[in-house]
Structure 1
Amino acid sequence: MIEVLEGGLQTTIQDGGRPGFLSRGIPPAGAQDFYSLSIANLLVGNDLTPPPLSRADPGAAGLEMVVKGVSLRFLDETVIALAGADMAATLDGTPVDRFRPIVAPAGSVLKCGTVKSGARGYLAIAGGIDVPLVIGSRATYVRGAQGGLEGRALRKGDRLTTFAPAAPAAALARRDLAGLPSAPEEPNVIRVVLGPQDFMFTAKGVETFLTAEWKLSPVSDRMGMRLVGPPLELHPRPDYLTRDAGSGPADIVDDVIPVGGIQVPGGIEPIVMGVENPTAGGYAKIATVISADLGKMGQIPPKGSLTFRKVRAEEGIAIIKDIWQKLRDARAALDAA
């Protein structure tokens, strides 16, 4: 049993999410930074968190903490691991490192503070958090009051239970990252595939998008991450589009919005859609963030800077397949040790 002493700014239970239901108005949710939750789960012997939209088993549920972390009291001995943003965590007042398993004795208190770098911290607990499955996942979708603990963020006084750990604490405490990096390279470079409506932007507009330094607006969340930077030039609108979709320079007839899609309302302040994205929208999407870099995007802090780099769709697919294979290989090696 785990007692929540402080809920943090927004701490939610997340796993790999529930992809495949956008047509029914249900976004996938799940960890915004799947890689960080996956390596935290790896360290405590849990099932891995799969890449976004992969249709794989969602893996073990852990905690996603945004900007300011949670405080917990562990009523039973367990093993935990922290990954993602540095939240200056302490266990019974002693600083603890990220990216390694930590034995938390019965009665011990974990305190996670305000982020020192990054934006989202992840906590995995041996066995994984035990809450009911909703459409095949334990992930919290707050706007839909779905999944997690009563469909909401954690708050003081909540109590959490976990499934049985995969091994005794002493064995789990010997695990490591098995050669995996603790975070992706070039954290502020976000790779994108142009489209689906990049043709609405002029060559100058696309070049501006790819060469400008963008800053993350504080008006950002798991649904969308708004960027501040130069305006993006669009082609003149044909009459039929004005008639059918509206007079705004980037207005289109509503169509589906992919996770990672980058809408540009009015040609200004692009919005990168997160894992709780709306199912449809009426603005041109200049590009789509590749699945492998959705976690990078989720770790950009408010007012943090980033740039975009164009890749081909085939490259994006190869990158995420390689990451997932390396995670599974590391899990197999540790389990066999």
Structure 2
Amino acid sequence: MVRSATVIKPGTLTSVQDAGRPGYLGKGIAPGGAMDNAAFRAANLLVGNEAGSRVLSHGPRGAAVLECTISGPELRFDSDVVVAVTGGECTPRVGKDTVQMWTPFTVPAGQPLALGAIRRGLRSYVAVQGGFDVPVYLGSRSTMVAAGLGGHEGRALRTGDVLRVGDPQGQATAGRRFPPLPLPGPEEPCRVRVLAGPQEDRFEDESVAAFHESEWTLTPMTNRMGSRFSGPALRFRPRPSYLDRQAGANDSNIVDDIIPYGGIQCPDGAASIVMNSEHPTAGGYAKIATVISADMRLIAQMRPGQKAVFVRVAREELPAIRRDNDDLVNLSRLEDAS
């Protein structure tokens, strides 16, 4: 029996995502995938799906989910399904009944599931037992919205779209829930950890210090490609002559190089732009730092107007940070949902 979900209302920007397709930068294709990888994996685990791998890992892609931005969709399933909603805070409803986030629940056939507005954080995730069965492109079901690739017809969902739902592969964690993952809020700046560079040496020492000591405000210019922050003007060191010949006259220009996921470009020193999951694969602006992959979920959940501070960490700290990040969605953290 083929199962499906019909989109009654699409929400602001709802797309099919999994753990992405790393390994294709040389072909001009960014890794993509769920912006909040931890919330994506938690949603899958709750409904018994293959969870997927952490950011940029070449492990399993995980079952495809829906990533919802600002406001979520309204869906109707043609058979009973088990669903979990994680990520940004919203109030899911099945028919007229409110259901809990971070725990699996059943949506009866014909009953609408509606997420509504996302009140805290920016992105929520909807996993259904069996996953959303869209075509695989380069090993992934993720939608690359900017390029029109993958997912459901390479785009965000629209009213009337019909998505196939795969067959269940595992058991949902009935009666159990994950503790909600922390979300950035308006109360205090979000602490985002970064590594130096790769072009920190192009910036004056005073500007490097200002970058780390200042509060940066997320502007409305934020999407799956990048998040633009406003803050102090950053100044550059005198340029080597080869840059004038090969990169252009602006002090922020470098010879084009590969852009890392989480890299922070500083065009003209007038802004700091964090490169998100659909980032350009190469570019010619100096990058003062790179957000560690564990904290990219915080960038993904920040709302315009919220503030961040970029805190330097050493490479030696990364293994412990990675273990802590993996533990965020370990099944051992499940607690009683009652």
Shorter-chain TM-score bucket reads over 0.9
Q: Please give the residue correspondences for 1:228-239 in structure 2 after superposition, counting only pairs within 5 Å.
A: 228-239=230-241
Residue 237 of structure 1: how far off its partner (Å): 2.0
The aligned counterpart of 2:317 is 315
Q: What are the ranges of 5 or more consecutive residues in structure 1 without an aligned counterpart?
A: none
- Following superposition, the deviation at residue 146 of structure 1 comes to 1.3
Report the TM-score when normalising by structure 1: 0.92
Per-residue deviation, 1:224: 0.7
Q: Could you tell me how far apart the structure 1 residues matched to 2:26 and 2:307 are?
A: 33
**Contact 1:91–1:109, Cα closer than 8 Å, also in 2:** yes
Structure 2 letter corresponding to 1:303: G
1:4 and 2:2 equivalent?
no
Task: Compute the TM-score of the two structures, normalised by the length of structure 2.
Answer: 0.92
Please point out which of 271, 290, 293 is paired with 2:292.
290
Q: How far does the alpha carbon of each residue in 1:126-162 deviate from its partner, in whole angstroms, 9 at most, with x for none? A: 1111111111110001222211111111110011121
Query: Corresponding residue for 2:181?
Result: 183
Q: Deviations over 1:206-241 (max 9, x none)?
A: 111111111111111111110011111221223332
1:173 is matched with 174
Using the TM superposition, give the Cα deviation of residue 330 of structure 1 relative to its aligned residue in structure 2, in angstroms: 3.6
- Does the CA contact (< 8 Å) of 2:184 and 2:301 recur in 1? no
Whether 2:219 is the aligned partner of 1:217: answer: yes
Please give the alpha-carbon distance, in whole angstroms, between the structure 2 residues aligned to 1:257 and 1:141: 17
Contact 1:79–1:172 (CA<8 Å) still a contact in 2? no
- The residue matched to 1:151 in structure 2 has which SS? coil
Aligned CA distance change for structure 1 residues 185 and 73 (closer, same or farther; 3 Å): closer
Aligned counterpart for 1:142 among listed residues 129, 140, 145: 145
Residues 73-152 of structure 1 mapped to structure 2, 5 A cutoff: 73-152=76-155
Percent identity over paired residues: 44
The alpha-carbon distance between structure 1 residues 280 and 61, as it changes in their structure 2 partners (threshold 3 A), is same
State the 1:326 CA deviation. Answer: 5.9
Conservation of the 8 A alpha-carbon contact between 1:202 and 1:234? yes
- Between Structure 1 and Structure 2, which shows a larger proportion of helix residues? 1
Q: How far apart are residue 88 of structure 1 and its match?
A: 2.5
Q: Return the offset for 1:185.
A: 7.7
Distance in 1, Cα, partners of 2:20 & 2:304: 24
User: How far apart are 1:314 and its partner, in Å?
Assistant: 3.0
| Partners of 1:119 and 1:299 within 8 A in 2 | yes
Q: Which moved more, 1:85-94 or 1:98-107?
A: 85-94
CA offset digits 1:96-154 (Å, max 9, x no partner): 22111111111111112222111111111111111111111100012222111111111
Distance 1:258 1:312 in 2: 17
Three-state SS of the structure 1 residue aligned to 2:136 is coil
Counterpart CA distance in 2 for 1:19 and 1:249 is 31
Counterpart position of 1:54: 57
Q: Flag structure 2 segments of 5+ consecutive residues without an equivalent.
A: none
2:207 to 189, 205, 208: 205
